[in-house]
Structure 1
Amino acid sequence: MSLDGERLQQTALDVARALPGVTEGHPFTKHLLVIKVAGRVFLIVTEDPDKPIITVKADPDHGAALIRDHEGIQRGRYFDKDHWVSVSPGRSITAGLVQDLVQDSYDLVADQLPGRQRDELRRQEGV
């Protein structure tokens, strides 16, 4: 079942908030809720009822495939266009897809952390 804007964003936030080491805030503007792991961005939720989107990090090849296969996915709005995609409500945007995109974004960022930080996150996941 496809998600409306509110459910799209809430699903993304529910997944992100359940992950270890996550913080959130509004460092750029009051309309962008930024979710980070170890100080690095992995999810942005646009807090504008007229533009209910999320933006996540994606491997460039995977991002290109997502854009090709889902009309609700486009190049990222706020960051490097090759490494980020923005997701808006659409027929093929499901809760499972959003959950996978947020988890993949988190993993991409966490995998780039220094070893000690990465190890600490893995310990927290095991708790």
Structure 2
Amino acid sequence: MKYEWMDEYFLSKKGALKDFKEEWGATRYLIGGKMFGLQGTDNTNREVITVKCEPLFGQLLRDQHANIIPGYYMNKEHWNSVYLDGEVPDDVLKQMIDMSYGLILKSLSKKMQKEILEGSEVSSK
């Protein structure tokens, strides 16, 4: 895989956890029990990472990069998939991961956000 740093980058986010969703054949990156990243393959077996972005930003990225597409098996307005065999620059992918983490963090309760940001143990159950 071209983006060897990616797993470590996802897990460097406060409160981030990962699991493997057997029925999807994909690794999920979670915060507070909600997914902010998904790594797997598409129906042609190409490796893909899927993250949430602000809709206008996601559309801008899709217009600029052929290897960024509407979210594979996800809401096409909010989620974007990046083919990992493509030429998306590291800084763009990191910006997408950062945005996805921030959007999901903001969607959590204020109490859970505080626990995560202060480093308290948070249960995702």
User: Normalising TM by the smaller chain, what interval?
Assistant: 0.7 to 0.9
Q: TM-score, normalised by structure 2?
A: 0.84
User: RMSD over aligned Cα, in angstroms?
Assistant: 2.1
1:90 matched to 2:86:
yes
How many pairs are equivalent? 118
1:73 matched to 2:68:
yes
Structure 1 runs of 4+ aligned residues shifted over 3 Å read: 47-50
Report SS of the residue matched to 1:26.
strand
Gaps of 5+ in 2: 120-125
Query: Residue 25 of structure 1 corresponds to which residue in structure 2?
Result: 19
Gaps of 5+ in 1: 1-5
Change over 3 Å in CA distance of 1:50–1:27 after alignment to 2: closer
Query: Residue 122 of structure 2 corresponds to which residue in structure 1?
Result: none
1:54 matched to 2:12:
no
Report SS of the residue matched to 1:21.
coil
CA shift, 1:122, in A, is 1.9
Q: TM-score, normalised by structure 1?
A: 0.83
Counterpart contact for 2:51–2:80, Cα < 8 Å: yes
Q: Give me the whole-angstrom Cα distance separating, in 2, the residues matched to 1:28 and 1:66.
A: 30
Counterpart contact for 1:11–1:99, Cα < 8 Å: no
More helix, by proportion: 1
Alpha-carbon displacement from aligned partner over 1:41-60 (angstroms, at most 9, x marks no partner) = 00001168941110001111
Amino acid at match of 2:110: G
Identity of aligned pairs, percent? 22
1:108 to 103, 110, 114: 103
